Copies of this chain bind each other. A is one copy, B any other.
Amino acid sequence: MKNPNLNNIEIDHLYHLGLDSSQDLNAMFGDVKFVCMMGSSLRIKDFAEKVSSSLGVEIPEEGIQPIGKTERCSLYKVGPVICVSHGMGAPSILIFLHELSKLIEYARASDVRFIRIGTSGALGLTPGTVVVSEGVLNGKLEPIFEQIGLGKTLRYETGIHLPLAEGLLQSRGDFEAVLGLTLGTDDFYEGQGRMDGALLPPYSEEESMNFLKLAHEKGVRNIEMESTAFASFCRRANISAAIVCATFINRLNGDQVTTTAEEQMKFSSYADELVLSYLRRTLLPLPLISNL
């Protein structure tokens, strides 16, 4: 195990997943090659169904069923792909990264790649453009995830697996997709310089716009809330990881998410399609070429 302390635990309770190491995790998850993560438990169910039809994996007549408990997340397994929701924000996704990483180790699954598929605000892009992260910055515009452990500030470098990111970008369909830096913040309102939270923010509109422009100049193309934890955890755990986000709004034009539910569904589906196309290319056997 990556954490030798785990060798001393008789049964490891993966508390938030509702699974434990006394189960035959190798039989359940030993063939996993991809873990696809999304914030919402509703969207991940929809994505799991898309994976099933995309890879030709049959699902039960009564519909796809979650594995483990559904109080904190929803986890589906479709062939070699785990599809799991992670909630919003770095602390929430970090819980699932720890427990999924342990799950993969207990299952003795090998060469597993993690892909986060998210929604985000864009910087300087037309809403609907898909952003594949080539790097991740925190709210201070550093490529670092800061967390507090035993009263001390710990700083971990963020890291993206560039070949995976580039492979994903090559799978784009009939929509815009770009590589860019992703800004991961710990708050949707003041953390992202919004003026429209419930409280008067401790900055002016001009200061906010200057900050967003500075981020844009540094190469930031989208803003969300999980990339720092995701990219630093996967780097520490030596997991190949990539982030693919839909964009709903260009933050250089305003704060409010005014795209309609229909547009949001369409824009989200672009990010889904890009990942599904990559999964197909990677997981399905090449078509046989006859008469050669």
| Chain A interfacial positions (CB closer than 8 Å to B) | 2-6, 9, 12-13, 15-16, 39-43, 69-72, 87-92, 94-95, 97-99, 101-102, 105, 138-141, 147-151, 154, 185-191, 193, 195-203, 205, 207-208, 211, 225, 233, 236-237, 256-258, 261
A70 touches B88 (CB 8 A): no
B187 touches A94 (CB 8 A): yes
A153 nearest CB neighbor, chain B only: B140
Known contacts A186-B90, A197-B98, A256-B9; decide if A40 and B3 are in contact (CB<8 Å). no
B89 touches A91 (CB 8 A): yes
Chain B residue numbers with a CB within 8 Å of A203 are 149-150
Q: Which 5 A-B pairs have the closest CB atoms?
A: A89-B91, A139-B148, A101-B198, A149-B190, A88-B92
A2 in complex: contacting residue of B41, B105, B200, B257, CB < 8 Å: B200
Chain B residue numbers with a CB within 8 Å of A13 are 256-258
In angstroms, Cα B152 to Cα A257, docked, is 25
In angstroms, Cα B150 to Cα A191, docked, is 7
Oligomer: number of copies? 2
In angstroms, Cα B199 to Cα A102, docked, is 9
Known contacts A2-B200, A198-B2, A198-B237; decide if A91 and B191 are in contact (CB<8 Å). yes
A105 nearest CB neighbor, chain B only: B198
Distance in angstroms from A218 CB to nearest chain B CB is 11
B198 touches A3 (CB 8 A): yes
In angstroms, Cα B73 to Cα A42, docked, is 10
Known contacts A40-B71, A197-B3; decide if A91 and B88 are in contact (CB<8 Å). yes
In angstroms, Cα B211 to Cα A58, docked, is 50
List 13 A-B residue pairs with CB atoms under 8 Å apart, sorted by A's residue number: A3-B196, A5-B205, A6-B196, A12-B256, A15-B257, A69-B261, A88-B89, A91-B92, A91-B188, A147-B190, A149-B201, A150-B211, A151-B211
A211 nearest CB neighbor, chain B only: B150
A148 touches B185 (CB 8 A): yes
A154 nearest CB neighbor, chain B only: B202
In angstroms, Cα B103 to Cα A16, docked, is 30
B97 touches A186 (CB 8 A): no
A93 nearest CB neighbor, chain B only: B89
A186 touches B257 (CB 8 A): no
A70 nearest CB neighbor, chain B only: B42
Distance in angstroms from A190 CB to nearest chain B CB is 4
A186 in complex: contacting residue of B39, B91, B102, CB < 8 Å: B91
A39 touches B149 (CB 8 A): no
- Known pairs A5-B200, A148-B186; list 19 more (Cβ under 8 Å): A3-B197, A3-B199, A4-B200, A5-B201, A16-B88, A87-B92, A88-B91, A91-B186, A92-B92, A94-B188, A101-B199, A141-B151, A147-B190, A149-B190, A149-B201, A150-B193, A154-B190, A199-B236, A199-B237
